[in-house]
Structure 1
Amino acid sequence: MNEVKEDNGAELRALIVQAGITQVEALALVNKGQAFPISLSTWKSYLAAPDSTRRRNCPDAVINHARKTIGKPSERA
Structure 2
Amino acid sequence: MSEVTDNGIALRSLIEQAGLTQADALAVLNRGQAFPIALSTWKAYLAAPDSARRRVCPDNVLAHARKTIGKGSKER
The runs of at least 4 consecutive aligned structure 1 residues that moved more than 3 Å come to 74-77
Larger Rg over CA atoms: 1
Output the amino acid matched with 2:26.
L
Query: CA RMSD of the aligned region, Å?
Result: 1.8
Output the amino acid matched with 2:70.
G
TM-score normalised per structure 1: 0.86
Match of 2:64 in 1: 65
User: Which stretches in structure 1 are left out of the alignment for 5+ residues?
Assistant: 1-5
- The superposition leaves residues 23-51 of structure 1 with CA deviations (integer Å, 9 ceiling, x where unpaired) of 00000010000000000000000000000
Match of 2:49 in 1: 50
Tell me which protein shows more helix as a share of its residues.
Answer: 2
Aligned ranges 1:33-48 → 2 under 5 Å: 33-48=32-47
- Identity across the alignment (%): 69
Output the amino acid matched with 1:51.
D
Tell me the number of residue pairs that the alignment of Structure 1 and Structure 2 aligns.
Answer: 72
